[in-house]
Amino acid sequence: MKINTTLKTNLNSLTSSSSTSLGNLFVSNDGLSATLTQDGVSGSVLLLITFLKIFSSKQGKITKEGDNILRVNYDYNFGDKQIQLTIHWDSKSHQKLDFYNFYWKKPKGLYSLKDSINLGSDNSVHWYGGMNTHEQSWPIKKNDYKSTEFVTNDVYQLYTSLQNNELDLQSKLDDDSSFLLRNNFLEYTLAVPKEWEKISLKDFHQECFELFLAAPTAHPSLEIINKPIWSTWANFWKAVDQNGLLEYAKQISDNNMPISQLELDDMWTVSYGDYQIDKRKFSNFSEMLKKLENEFGIKRLSAWVHPFVDADSEIGKNPELRNKLFVKNRDGDVPLVWWWDCPIKPGDPSKPVGPTNPDKKEPCAYVLDVTNPETREWWYKQLEAMKAEGICTFKFDAGETNWLPHNYVLYDGAYPNSYGKHYAHFASRFGSAVENRYGSGTQQTNFFTRTIDRNSYWDKDGGLSTLIPWALQSSLHGYYWNLPDMIGGNGLNHNESNIRGEPPEEELYIRWTQANTLLLAMQFSYPPWHSKYGGEVLNIVKKSLELRKKWMHYLIKNVRKSVEDKVPVIRPMWWASDDNEALTIDDQFMVGSDLVVAPVIKSGQKTRNVYLPEGNWRNGNNVSEVVIGPTTIKDYPNSKDPPLPKKAKIFNQLINLFLKSPLDVLPHFYRTDSDDSGNDIGQNLNNNAQLEQFLNQQQSQISIDFPSSLNNGNLHPQQQQLVIPQTIKSTDKTSIFPSSQLPFDGVPPGFETVLPIEVLQKLRELHKNTNIPLTQKQSEFDKIMTSVSPKLLAKLPLPPGFEALPSNIKEKIKEINGDPSIDWSKKHLKVKELIGALPQQQHPHPPLHNPSIRIPSTQIQQTNSGNVIPEFFPPNPPPGFEKVLPPEVYQQLLQIHRNPQLTVQQKSLQIDQIMRFDKLPPKYIKEVRKIFGDKSLNFQEKDQKIVEFVHSLPLELRKLTRPPLPPAFEKLNFETKEKISNLFDDITLDDKQRQNNFWKIVNQLPEDEKAKVNEAFKFPF
């Protein structure tokens, strides 16, 4: 487990002469504690670690091995073995960071290890990151919590707790876990800046982020960013029907409210798991869709889905499907689970209500095993059938492992949170307008990750005060596309009763709308014209939406920039300043680098303090006022800046006692020296009407189904060049096959945020013209681009892969793009010459992605005879793979390519699971690319270098590059699987020896273990 510390503190010195040093880490000579210092001298302690907290009376003996390894052996004997701590100091692998790795080794019979990190007791110590919680806080030290699994059902179970300013890290065995290791361990790493004074907290985070996490590789639906989602959930609960939905749509239209898509939530099917529209509630679904579009202008209907299947549904009652599709337990049974739509029965009525007599949750449903390819394919067909009925996309709910049955066993559960990861990747198959609420290692997806349901409170328990902390937490983790839950919350009193709630009070609804206005997306359910509200609510909501519209160009530009630069759009205030005040602000945020938003989120509060970092900041509510930062504006908006004389200040305070600040003010400030300031919004898209027209043009593309092999790669599906065989041609002369199309949707990636609308329209018309060949299209494309002003051309983003070029080369490319003396086609030649002069290792490489790309279904053409041209998939892996990959891996790929039983989509998914280099951290991916791109090496030499590279990786990264074991072997116990996997790590073995050792392991299996594999493979050993 990697723990990255983002910490700055001035604790009193705890080091002494009775310690042994390792870099700036001092371990006490009794081995019971360690202090990390800033520069290795007294008076600069950063944190204190207490070792073996559960055995604190046992002392250790320290041995130092060279300059970077320290071992501590503890005299607590367990049989004939001791407990050992190894600390490794890595000061060479990173230019800006040092790493201290703590690794505990213990006897098998010892079931728990615990270390404790003292966070300090003063206000100069701040920690960020960790888990997302219902009562989200920022920084995390503000919120204590008891011992909890850090990663649910991890193979190596790490439990953390935060109490009394101490963060406990505990590894322990839990017999209830689905993964059970009898020899667990505890390992964690502290990342520390080499030079504290030369690195900001933002830069420190980004350095750690690049090493340990990932960022999105494409943006979500721009239409959802541009206009709110309207959901039936809180407003209708389960009582939605055709008449109610049409009336809701009419009200949205009558009140001139913008809408990206209408979301049909709970109870639209005949039962949970049976994907058939309930005709009792929606008597004429197709007619309803026509009315939504023709009468109310709503073109997109999304629907709520989840992995639960009612026991009394048609699917749930089918024993064959039940055994194929659902999650099983260790006994091979398919148990029922409880989820929030199952009944809750009261406890014993003869006993008092309380903890000793709790309500009983009655399991009522099965849960789909989305780690099983057969289940995914079945579910995919069900949802595709719903799309054929007119549903555009889906809101995926649940997905967490806590909904799975006790002692569950997954089809593919070889790694922590594998269920949630498969669930998210399955959702990604349905495009960029999808909502999903769960993620685990799925930052690269391009859909919205929804904040878990918020309750209609001001504070605590999922209320308004958690909205901004949740968005900031998501940004730090790499889940940039955060969709806040419904404005005003779901109306629930949080009692797990799942009974329809009530709309929030007016003030809470208004403040919630304002807090959400400049976040990435908005979602309404309770309408602002609800009978509970007066006219002021609707007026203020409309004002907020107008403000959002004003900043829409800036938002979209930063979304695009976020993908390119791998930085979040929604940022904490310390992104711009390391002031202690900025480190603790949990109720304001930055959008990009030039916009500060500070909503009022406390009940009855009319003013608030607003912190502004360094720079000149214009008041968004009074553009004549400019404030110089860093500063804190007190009591905004009633305050004056600069500060008033003392007498005037006292007079102003007296006035404020009697005058209330208007409720419709959302405090926000923007930099005066920014091209994206409020007065310049839309400078490239001319005006918001054209912006809306531009987004409407994209709307039809958003719901196109692309395979997850594209969505999981490093390119947005609409940016991916299609690989089309030259032998496939259309005989229909009026509609030339896609080989006449440009390798993008007419507008290259990123151009839409720079070029004027009229240029974008010309490019799209050129792309759609099927009557001219590709060479002529390229020529016409060059003419259009040559007509664009050099100033705009200089702002065009670099192609994918060019971000790794040296800074001076990137600047020269921008100069070439902006040079008015040469036309567009010659610019290409100049850039090519510039790149060609670079050393080979500096040449740009496109992002790693699966080379096997299917043709989207929208581009499969019919011949004159009426025959559909089939989807194409190469019969063999790419040339050279047979020389680079291990034979067993290449054979797996070959079998997938040639398997006629698999669809193109299934083939792509299975290949993605095997080719796992793209799951390595970025710095290692660069090494792989460098080897593959070295033209001085032949395939055999590249093969050897790849083998050497893989075996130089740390163990936990080496596992990422292993080919997965065949599905049948997942039935084996963990120790056997580890033995088999370790064969791939043994560099001393050749292929023949590895194969012989493999069969030795298999032949030594107990008969019951052999039977498991024998049954799956259908042949005896």
Tell me if 415 is assigned to some domain: yes
Q: Are the C-beta atoms of residues 219 and 562 closer than 8 Å to each other? A: yes
Q: Are the C-beta atoms of residues 15 and 29 closer than 8 Å to each other?
A: no
Q: Examine the domain organization and report whether 378 and 231 are in the same domain.
A: yes
pLDDT at 737: 27
Q: Which of 797, 818, 842 is the last residue of a domain?
A: 842
The sheet carrying 435-436 orders its strands as 482-483, 448-450, 435-436, 393-396, 301-305, 261-264, 229-231, 523-524
CA distance 325 to 373: 9
Same domain, 535 and 424: yes
Q: Tell me, yes or no, whether 382 and 252 share the same domain.
A: yes
Check whether residue 299 and residue 162 sit in a common domain: no
For residues 353 and 450, the model is more confident at: 450
pLDDT of the residue at 561? 92
Residue, of 1010 and 593, whose pLDDT is higher: 593
Give the Å distances, CA to CA, from 146 to 134, 149, 160, 188, 950.
Answer: 14, 10, 8, 20, 39
Residue 611 has pLDDT above 90, yes or no: yes
pLDDT over 80 (residue 369): yes
- Quick one: pLDDT band at residue 676, thresholds 50, 70, 90? very low
> Collapsing DSSP states into helix, strand and coil, what is residue 537?
helix
In a domain, 904, yes or no: no
Q: Which of 186-190, 260-264, 298-302, 480-484 has the lowest mean pLDDT?
A: 186-190
Contact 447, 427 (CB under 8 A): yes
C-alpha span between 913 and 911 (Å, rounded):
5
- Residue 480: per-residue pLDDT: 94
Condensed to tens digits (0 to 9), the pLDDT of residues 120-137 reads 666 667 888 776 776 777
Residue 361 lies in a domain: no
User: Mean pLDDT throughout 572-597?
Assistant: 94
Say whether 35 sits in a helix, a strand or coil: strand
How many structural domains comprise the chain?
A: 4
- Segment among 72-86, 162-176, 578-592, 955-969 with least mean pLDDT: 955-969
Cα of first residue to Cα of last residue in the chain, in angstroms, is 38
For the cut 70, the answer to whether the pLDDT of residue 833 exceeds it is: yes
- Cβ atoms of 795 and 683 within 8 Å: the answer is no
**Residue 282 confidence (pLDDT):** 96
Segment 390-412 shows an average pLDDT of 90
Select from 708, 705, 723 the least CA-distant residue to 910. 708
User: At residue 321, does pLDDT exceed 80?
Assistant: yes
What is the domain-level CATH number for residue 431?
Answer: 3.20.20.80
Query: What are 509's two structure tokens?
Result: 């609804």
User: Is residue 369 within 8 Å of 292, Cβ to Cβ?
Assistant: no
Domain boundary among 148, 180, 212: 212
Range with top average pLDDT, 37-46, 110-119, 681-690, 944-953: 110-119
What are the DSSP E strand ranges found in 174-225?
186-193
Quick one: pLDDT at residue 11? Answer: 37
* Beta carbons within 8 Å of 796's beta carbon, 6+ residues apart: 750, 751, 754, 814, 817
CB 532 within 8 A of CB 538: no
Whether residues 112 and 238 fall in one domain: no
Q: Going by C-beta distance under 8 Å and a sequence separation of 6 or more, which residues neighbour residue 184? A: 111, 156, 157, 171, 172, 173
What CATH number did the domain enclosing 656 receive? Answer: 2.60.40.1180
Mean pLDDT of the chain, nearest integer: 75
Instruction: Please classify residue 1020 by burial: count the beta carbons closer than 10 Å to its beta carbon, then call 0-12 exposed, 13-18 middle and 19+ buried.
Output: exposed
Is the pLDDT at 814 greater than 90? The verdict is: no
For residues 610-614, give the mean pLDDT. Answer: 96
Task: Decide: pTM greater than 0.85.
Answer: no
pLDDT at position 508 is 95
Do 667 and 720 share a domain, yes or no? no
Percent of the chain with pLDDT over 90: 33
Q: Which DSSP helix (H) or strand (E) runs through 21?
A: strand 19-22
Q: What does the pLDDT read at residue 880?
A: 54
How far is Cα 632 from Cα 627, in angstroms, rounded to an integer? 10
pLDDT at 941: 66
| Same structural domain, 112 and 227 | no
Tell me the CA distances in angstroms from 103 to 2, 27, 190, 577, 985, one per residue in order.
11, 14, 12, 35, 20
Classify residue 857: in a domain, yes or no. no
Q: Give yes or no for a contact between 97 and 108, defined as CB atoms under 8 angstroms apart.
A: no
- Do residue 509 and residue 605 come from a single domain? no
| Residue 379 banded pLDDT, cuts 50, 70, 90 | very high
> What distance in Å separates the CA atoms of residue 54 and residue 170, rounded to the nearest whole number?
10
Q: 3-state class of 85 per DSSP?
A: strand
Indicate whether 1017 belongs to any domain. no
* Residue 610 domain-assigned (yes or no): yes
Does residue 865 sit within a domain? Answer: no
Q: Which residue has the higher pLDDT, 939 or 260?
A: 260
Question: Where does a domain end: 523, 548, 566?
Answer: 566
In this predicted structure, the answer to whether residue 846 has a pLDDT above a threshold of 70 is: no
More reliable by pLDDT, 535 or 797: 535
Cis omega (within 30 of 0) on the bond before 637?
A: yes
The DSSP annotation for 257-309 comes to ---SEEEE-SS-EEETTEEEE-TTT-TTHHHHHHHHHHHH----EEEEE-SEE
Report the pLDDT value the prediction gives residue 869, as an integer from 0 to 100: 32
Residue at 238 is within a domain: yes
Check whether residue 809 and residue 751 sit in a common domain. yes
Q: How confident is the model at residue 77 (pLDDT cuts 50, 70, 90)?
A: low
> Which domain range does residue 778 map to?
702-842
As to burial, measured by CB atoms within 10 angstroms (0-12 exposed, 13-18 middle, 19+ buried), residue 536 is middle
Per-residue pLDDT reduced to its tens digit, 486-533: 999 988 754 445 566 789 999 999 999 999 999 999 999 999 999 999
Top-confidence range, 10-24, 610-624, 673-687, 691-705: 610-624
What's the confidence (pLDDT) of residue 592?
96
Is the same domain home to 94 and 181?
Answer: yes
Alpha carbon distances (Å) from 533 to 454, 456, 507, 542: 20, 15, 10, 14
Q: What is the pLDDT of residue 882?
A: 63
Task: Clarify whether residues 386 and 527 are in a common domain.
Answer: yes
Cis amide bond preceding 630, omega within 30: yes
Query: According to the model, what pLDDT value does residue 284 have?
Result: 95
| Same domain, residue pair 587 and 558 | no
Predicted confidence at residue 109, as pLDDT, reads 65
SS3 364: coil
pLDDT of residue 538: 96
d(CA 627, CA 640): 10
Which position has the higher pLDDT, 546 or 746?
A: 546
Q: Given a cut of 60, is residue 419 above it in pLDDT? A: yes
* Tokens read off for 173: 């065995």
Q: Is residue 151 classed exposed, middle or buried when 0-12, 13-18 and 19+ CB atoms within 10 A define those classes?
A: middle
Residue entry with tokens 């056997």: 976
Q: What is the pLDDT of residue 361?
A: 85
- Averaged over 926-948, what is the pLDDT? 68
pLDDT bin (cut points 50, 70, 90) of residue 678 is: very low
Work out the pLDDT band at 465, boundaries 50, 70, 90: very high
pLDDT of residue 735: 27
Listed range (258-267, 458-467, 946-955) with the worst mean pLDDT: 946-955
Instruction: Please say if the pLDDT value at position 645 is more than 90.
Output: no
Quick one: pLDDT at residue 739? Answer: 35
3-state secondary structure 748-776: CCCHHHCCCHHHHHHHHHHHHCCCCCHHH
